[in-house]
């Protein structure tokens, strides 16, 4: 953004654009963590009811960790 655009954004929004980026980044990770807890809970319930095997439960866990690591790498770099 140019200096004029930054001044206009800050004057009209009341905050700096980097603060909005931080807010959106934090919201993205919060949603991912809430979804991850839901997925792990659903997988655990399925495992405890013998609907899925321990291997499938572990696969859900590995996928969640991999998703979190990939998003962390791409969004924070």
Long-range contacts of residues 11-20, Cβ cutoff 8 Å, at least 24 apart: none
CA 11, chain centre distance (Å): 30
Q: Indicate whether 15 belongs to any domain.
A: no
8 Å CB contact between 61 and 43: yes
Domain extent at residue 63: 22-76
Q: 49 by DSSP, 3-state: which?
A: coil
Q: List pLDDT tens digits, range 3-44.
A: 999 999 999 999 999 999 999 999 999 999 999 999 999 999
Q: How many domains does the chain have?
A: 1
Q: What is the pLDDT of residue 74?
A: 93
Long-range contacts of residues 41-46, Cβ cutoff 8 Å, at least 24 apart: none
Q: Indicate whether 60 belongs to any domain.
A: yes
pLDDT, mean of residues 40-66: 95
Q: What is the pLDDT of residue 77?
A: 85
């Amino acid at each position: 953004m140019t200096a004029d655009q930054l001044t206009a954004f800050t004057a009209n929004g009341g905050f700096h654009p980097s603060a909005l980026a931080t807010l959106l980044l934090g919201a993205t990770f919060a949603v991912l963590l809430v979804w991850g807890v839901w997925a792990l809970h659903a997988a655990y319930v399925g495992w405890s009811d013998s609907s899925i095997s321990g291997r499938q439960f572990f696969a859900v866990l590995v996928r969640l960790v991999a998703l979190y690591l990939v998003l962390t790498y791409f969004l924070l770099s």
